[in-house]
Structures are given as C-alpha cells and as structure tokens.
Amino acid sequence: MPQPASTAPTLSLGDLTLPVGSTQTVRRVLQAWLAKLLHDFCAIAPSALTIANRPLLSRTVQALARCDRKLALQLLRLPTISTPIQCALKQLRPGGDGPALNRWLREACAQIWLDLAAQHAVDRALVLPAEGWLPALLSPALNLRIVAEPATEQWVFESGRLGARTTDGVHWLDLTGLADPSAIAALPGARIDRPYHAIVPGVWLATADNNPLADYEAHPDKSGNAVSLGGQPPQAWVDALRTSFALLDEHLPLLGEELRWVLRLIVPVGYDAERHLSASYQEAIGVVYMTLHPQPMTMVEALVHEYQHNKINAVFSLDPLLHNAWSPLYASPVRPDPRPLHGVVLAVHAFQAVADLYRAMAAAGHPWSTQPSWNERFKKIIELDHQGALTVLEHAKATAAGASYFQEMRRLDHQLQTIRRERWPDRPETSGNLDELAGHD
C-alpha cells in the first residue's frame, strides 16, 4: 500500500528558544515531527517483526492510512503512542534489540487501536491475542489505564467499545462518555483505574507511564523515574503545576501557549523539600518528569527547563543543528567533565528561556524579584548561560537550520549580558557550571 510521503522541511528556527510574535515556529516543528513519525512508523518493514506481530502492524498501518490524516497525527501526539514507537524505531538498526522492538511496537499498536475505538474509527474489529501477555491500555483523554487479568485471552477493539475475552466469553466496555470523571468504568477480565488528572486543557498529571526508558537516568542523584506522588495527594501536584502555568501565562504568555501545544503528560517522580530533580527523554516528546517542591519558582523553572528539552528534542529528530554535535568533546560550563556540543546546546537552550522568565518577572515588579536569593540565582543563571553560549558559538559548525537557531542564541546572550551589566555592574562573575543549577533549588 502507498506510504505517507516523508517531509523534509526547511526549518527556520530564529525564535525556537523564545517565541516572538506567535507560536508558529513550534507549531511547524511539531507538525514536521509528527509527519516524520507517521512516515517512519508506516514504513517499518514487516520482516523486522516476528511472524505473530506482522498482521498487527499491517492492520494498524492500514487503519491509519484509511482514517483522516488529522486524526492519525492527533493520535501520534499522545506520548502513550509516540514514545513506544520512537523507542522501537531506534531498534531497527543492525544489532538492535529484536524482542524489545516487537514488544514496544505491539504496545504502540494496542494504544492506537484503543484510541481509534474511542474515536469510533474502527471499520472492522481487531482481535489482539495474548500470546503470553496483553499490553496495558492507556488513554489520557479517557482517563483510563486498563490492565488485563492473567486469564484474559484477547483484547477486542470495535468502534466505540473494548472487549476482553475470557473463558466466559467477550465482556465489553463502552468507551463513550468515559472522559467524564463520574462515569463508571468496569470490564470483567481487566483492572481499570483513572490515572490522569487534568492540569490545564490537554495536559495531564500522569500516575501511569509506559515509557520503556523511564528506568534510565543520567542524573547521578537519581535512580530512574518511577511514578511516585511522594506521599502527596494528586490535587497538591495539580495545584502546584497550575500555579506554574499561571506564572508563565502572566509573564511569558507565548511560551505558555507553546507548552500547551507540545506537552501532554507531567509524570510525578516524588517529593523533595530540599531540591528539585526533573528529567525528559528525546524518545518521549510531550512528557516531563518532575518532583514536587514547595517553592513555586522552583517548580515553574523546572517546567520551563524540561519543556525546552522537549522542544529542541523534536527539532533534533528532524535536524542535528550541528555537524559536530557529538565530537570532539569540550571543556564546558555545562558539567565539570568534557561534553559534546549537543549537551551544551541542550543546557543553553533551556536556561536562556529560564533566564527570560526571571527577566520578565523582574520587569513586571513581581514581589519575588526583590528577594536577594532570587536575584542571586537570576545572576548565576545569566552568567553560566553566557559561558555555555560562548562555548557553543565559538565551536559550532552549524547546519542550514542550525544557523538561524544559533543567531537567536547569540541575540539572547547579548540581551542577557546587557541585563547583567545593568543590574550587577560591580559584581564579579559567578564560577561553577550549569549542571549545578539543573535539578537543584
């Protein structure tokens, strides 16, 4: 069957870090990323899978091709679908993990069929046999996690409903109206819970996560990103995150608009009153992992930081920005150990946006901007960000798309240095590295 055409967009990234005038740059990036993901998924050769999984992939590709393209892209915006797909695609290389590839694609296909069923977009029932295990089914829009009981033999997907086949026959769950939190969801042969809590429209606190890489952790003070509310009620998390969105809406409204376009899930990974630890993954666009912290400024800073990683990670899926992204290594202000420019760019991209939030709050006379500790952190972010920008701009060998992005990096660095000279003309520059800021109060 014909495959969707691959997109090779000409990326203009002159306001990737901070939107100017509109959010069109990020919207174009997101649409290009989704189009590429759809193309790459539909182009997977059936021979890459086990014989048992080939019919499932074929039926799923056919279903996406038949449905409205807007709906297909809308489904791929859900990290419950896109994350296992992206993880699986990385295993298509020679020497990739075949069992993981099959497991993750099978899971992604199951998620697609659940959402197709919820959208009444299934023209012919799909039966997914257990074959040793049935994927858990997750739907943020329906606020559902459905886990098969061990004796359940099949999932059955039909328009508007999900079936679980047991020895007693097929039991059905009507998917219509389940987005209403008061709706009763029960399905013999399965355990159902409601793991998603709305923060702002389209963005949920997620106490369920199907990111296969969530156990991988680069931060030395953490051991993975297992879901944990840290003993706090979900509403405490929702309230804190709504405060973060409100701060962004007040001081950087276009960035707040961008967050709503890109982010879908915020996964809680514990509570810590002393520091904040957060994470994101290139394979999980639309997801950030955050600890809960009692200081609102810490929360909003972490939200901006991890969102910026999401945004540029979507770009990296389309264009590396640098011809020398991974080698050689440079002594840099990002971490005490030598780092590739890719890592330095990630840090500068995140912290330039964080610094601009501080700038906007100070310009608006926010009460926190009079506090010495707030101002000390603002100064430190500007200065270490400047050191990172100098490293990148001195050594970057930019791609065509990267050239416009690095022009923005230079422009923002000049603006922040002007602020530093005006606010702290006689203060010596801060020493340290940006890694000291990431994940700490």
Q: Say what percent of the chain tops pLDDT 90.
A: 85
Higher pLDDT pick, 220 / 389: 389
Residue 207: beta bridge partners? none
Per-residue pLDDT, 330:
85
Higher pLDDT pick, 171 / 180: 171
* pLDDT tens column, 85-106: 999 999 999 999 999 999 999 9
* pLDDT tens column, 285-314: 999 999 999 999 999 999 999 999 999 999
Distances (CA, A) of 370 to 190, 353, 363, 375, 425: 55, 20, 11, 7, 17
Encode 45-59 in three state secondary structure.
CHHHCCHHHHHHHHH
Strand, helix or coil for residue 339? strand
Residue 245 confidence (pLDDT) above 90 = yes
Torsion sign over Cα 329, 403, 398, 393: negative
* pLDDT tens column, 310-352: 999 999 999 999 999 999 998 766 677 888 999 999 999 999 9
Q: Does an H or E element contain 289, and which?
A: strand 287-292
Per-residue pLDDT, 432:
57
8 Å CB contact between 162 and 114: yes
Strand-strand pairing, 287-292 and 265-271? parallel
The mean per-residue pLDDT over the stretch 130-149 comes to 95
Residue 171: beta bridge partners? 164
The identity of residue 26, as a single letter, is V
The mean per-residue pLDDT over the stretch 409-438 comes to 80
